[in-house]
Amino acid sequence: MPHLFSKLRMRDVDFANRIGVSPMCQYSSVDGYANDWHFAHLGARAVGGAGLVFTEAAAVTPEGRISPQDLGVWSERHFEPLERIVRFIEGQGARAGIQLAHAGRKGSTYRPGAGNGAVPEAAGGWRPVAPSAVPFSDSYPMPDEMTVDQIHAVHGAFAAAAERAFAAGFRVIEIHAAHGYLNHEFLSPFSNRRVDAYGGSFDNRTRFVRECVAAVRRALPGRCPLFVRISATDWVEGGWDIDQSVELARQLLALGVDVIDCSSGGNVEKAEIPVGPGYQTPFAERIRREANVATAALGMITAPAQADQIIRNDQADIVLLARQMLRDPYWPLHAAQELGQVAPWPRQYLRAAPSGTPERAPAVARSDRAAQPVGT
């Protein structure tokens, strides 16, 4: 029976366990570049024993950033500092993942603690784009409705970023289609009021995401797993919901997606979300069962026993932790102790490990077939 510390295999990539570090914006970049903060932040979570470490959302175009301080990947130069980070993560036996994103109408906004709403152009802001000229809220910028040529250009930017990311050593690529950002904006009728082939019906509203996924899948080698993060529901009647998410997941599986990363909300300013421990896990369970695709569960997962039961009960194939990993970068090592599982420690830290703890081996070769197959 799989458990939190059982190995996992997707395509040609092996994971030492089922624990992942969820993408978390750090708002610490200048002109989109990663720096020492990103190295220390992501490297610490790899040392801490996670099997998969995601970067924060990385914008595929300059106007695809949420804030001027967001990570960017719109040029080859942006990957130079990321390559060092990837080498360190992989050297700790973890897999390096990158989340590719476009903020859409939620772009050009202040980072937390620096202000609220739109950043003016004089202060480094820009005019965002979106499916329709509908702002997220009164304090957010008014976006320009995208032309079809702009839509195709964004798809190309996602594909180019994915190709560069794999060349830089990232072995998991994720498309961000959640939290009210551009891909999600096309899915939800609250933000998509188009009357062309990208708006209206379910098939039309999902077209942007499907074309984005197809472009990225073509840009990647067949051995590279592809994740898509979705918001399974808007939490508002008449919006995007779990039934539509299940159907979208079926379609994305057919396009070569390996994991649906199941979050929720973010596209409606005043949605009432019943936040609580594991509140999004039922979405991962239902999509996994009905769409027959591997899923990642996230959202208020904090306790080792809670995370372990999600895997043991076949609710998801991976658990992604966010705030808990900020509180404790070594959560996986502590969880292994609590659950009575073996988790190797870095050689440099063995003197502090429980007696008999094995030394962490170098990264598992991707040709190793010992791990359990999952997905395509």
Domains of the chain from N-terminus onward = 8-346 (3.20.20.70)
pLDDT in tens, 157-191: 999 999 999 999 999 999 999 999 999 999 999 99
pLDDT of residue 362: 65
pTM recorded for the entire structure: 0.95
pLDDT at residue 141 tops 50: yes
* Mean of per-residue pLDDT scores for the chain: 95
Q: Which two tokens stand for residue 45?
A: 């979570």
Choose, from 27, 181, 279, 330, the residue flagged as catalytic. Answer: 181
In this predicted model, what pLDDT tens digit does every residue of 290-347 receive, in sequence order? 999 999 999 999 999 999 999 999 999 999 999 999 999 999 999 999 999 999 999 9
State the DSSP string of 113-138: TS-SSBPPGGGT----EESSS--SST
Distance CA 52, CA 172 (A): 9
Annotation says 181 is catalytic: yes
Task: Measure CA of the first residue to CA of the last residue in the chain; give whole Å.
Answer: 20
Rounded distance between C-alpha atoms, residue 263 and residue 71, angstroms? 21
- Res 282: pLDDT: 98
- C-alpha 177/C-alpha 82 separation (Å) is 22
- Which residues, listed in sequence order, are joined to residue 129 by a DSSP beta bridge? 144
Residues of the chain with pLDDT > 70, as a percent, come to 96
Parallel/antiparallel/unpaired status of strands 52-59 and 373-374: unpaired
The alpha-helical segments, DSSP class H, found in the chain are: 36-47, 79-91, 148-167, 182-187, 202-205, 207-219, 242-254, 281-291, 304-312, 323-327, 331-339
